[in-house]
């Protein structure tokens, strides 16, 4: 079980998944999506939220929630409690691969009408926009700014801003003030009394956070995130090695053009005779 003194923030992704990702949470999730998207949402399916491609040549898509609506829209939600490098690139990758990875063999590409990728970040991503926390992106024609593909794709970032920039009287604003932990105890009491959605989220969070299931999912997610960090470190090290190797090769070619012997080139670049000879024969 989660320890009493441990932070059970709704934006901890293991809590978020359990609060909104259950079949029994469908109505709560619909209300939440309608609030943040500003449109009616009817859920057909809460899909497997860790979608893995069958071949190892593709990156896995690990999302906190993936929803298929009755209108054949795909809605993904990624919750990020801490800053992570390349967040925009990550969401862009999810958005481009999400529709195709859910297709079955023989399905038409237009089976899904729209893909909506939502990222809820517990930090400020767009620092140049201090007074804004909702950032919407679509593919547009740069000449006339018309929407590409009949609005097939939308990416929405919600990032954290200072409390004074929110309007507590706005339903969306006070929802995110709650999610970001910006409400005082008195404000929470008022919001719980007036906003049934936030009250239900809080009740679900408190119930879930005390379960053994939350602890199990927490450990699984932490392991996955650690594996991802290790993979990134290894990839970075391999990239550095590859870059060093290219620099050595470029230097070897320059030295050869200046008349250095193979022995001198090998000593300077630390490349083997065989590699230098092969390199020269291919140029």
Predicted confidence (pLDDT) per residue in 133-151, tens digit = 999 998 877 887 777 666 6
Same domain, 46 and 73: yes
In a domain, 151, yes or no: yes
3-state secondary structure of 77: strand
Q: How confident is the model at residue 181 (pLDDT cuts 50, 70, 90)?
A: very high
In a domain, 8, yes or no: no
Q: How confident is the model at residue 10 (pLDDT cuts 50, 70, 90)?
A: confident
Same domain, 72 and 204: yes
CA separation for the pair 162, 160 (Å, rounded): 7
CA distances (Å), 98 to each of 46, 95, 104, 248, in order?
14, 5, 12, 40
Domain boundary among 162, 191, 210: 210
In a domain, 268, yes or no: yes
Same domain, 137 and 167: yes
Domain count, the chain: 2
In a domain, 259, yes or no: yes
Structure tokens, 84: 């992570």
Same domain, 201 and 278: no
Q: Comparing 104 with 40, which gets the higher pLDDT?
A: 40
pLDDT of 74 strictly over 80: yes
Provide, rounded to the nearest whole percent, the portion of the chain with pLDDT above 90: 28
Predicted confidence (pLDDT) per residue in 85-115, tens digit = 777 777 777 666 665 555 444 455 445 678 8
Structure tokens, 253: 């070619």
Residue 121, C-beta contacts closer than 8 angstroms, at least 6 positions apart: 80, 83, 87, 157, 158, 159, 160
Domain boundary among 152, 179, 210: 210
* Per-residue pLDDT at 56: 37
In a domain, 237, yes or no: yes
Same domain, 67 and 194: yes
In a domain, 121, yes or no: yes
Same domain, 30 and 94: yes
CA distances (Å), 86 to each of 90, 135, 214, 222, 232, in order?
6, 16, 28, 19, 12
DSSP, residue by residue, 106-118? T--GGGS-EEEEE
Same domain, 29 and 155: yes
* Per-residue pLDDT at 64: 77
Provide, rounded to the nearest whole percent, the portion of the chain with pLDDT above 70: 71
Same domain, 100 and 46: yes
Cα-only R_g, the chain:
25
pTM, rounded to two decimals = 0.67
Same domain, 177 and 225: no
Structure-token match 């939350």, residue found: 214
Predicted confidence (pLDDT) per residue in 246-266, tens digit = 888 888 888 888 888 888 888
In a domain, 277, yes or no: yes
Q: How confident is the model at residue 61 (pLDDT cuts 50, 70, 90)?
A: very low
Same domain, 176 and 227: no
Same domain, 133 and 202: yes
Same domain, 254 and 129: no
In a domain, 66, yes or no: yes
Range of the structural domain that residue 241 is part of: 212-283
Domain boundary among 178, 210, 242: 210
């Amino acid at each position: 079980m989660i320890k009493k003194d441990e932070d059970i923030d709704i934006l901890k992704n293991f809590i978020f998944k359990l609060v909104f990702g259950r079949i029994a949470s469908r109505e709560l999730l619909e209300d939440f999506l309608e609030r943040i998207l500003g449109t009616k949402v009817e859920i057909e399916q809460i899909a497997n939220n860790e979608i893995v491609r069958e071949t190892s040549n593709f990156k896995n898509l690990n999302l906190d929630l993936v929803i298929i609506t009755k209108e054949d829209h795909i809605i993904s939600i990624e919750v990020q409690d801490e800053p992570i490098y390349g967040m925009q690139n990550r969401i862009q990758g999810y958005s481009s691969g999400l529709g195709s990875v859910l297709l079955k063999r023989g399905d038409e590409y237009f089976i899904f009408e729209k893909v909506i990728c939502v990222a809820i970040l517990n930090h400020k991503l767009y620092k140049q926009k201090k007074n804004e926390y909702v950032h919407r992106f679509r593919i547009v024609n740069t000449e006339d700014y018309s929407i590409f593909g009949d609005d097939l794709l939308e990416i929405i970032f919600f990032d954290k801003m200072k409390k004074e920039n929110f309007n507590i009287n706005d339903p969306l604003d006070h929802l995110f003030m709650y999610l970001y932990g910006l409400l005082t105890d008195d404000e929470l009491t008022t919001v719980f009394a007036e906003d049934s959605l936030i009250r239900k989220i809080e009740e679900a969070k408190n119930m879930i956070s005390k379960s053994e299931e939350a602890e199990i999912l927490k450990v699984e997610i932490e392991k996955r995130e650690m594996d991802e960090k290790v993979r990134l470190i290894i990839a970075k090290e391999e990239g550095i090695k590859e870059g060093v190797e290219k620099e050595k090769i470029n230097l070897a070619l320059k030295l050869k053009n200046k008349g250095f012997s193979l022995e001198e080139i090998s000593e300077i670049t630390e490349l083997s005779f065989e590699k230098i000879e092969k390199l020269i024969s291919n140029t």
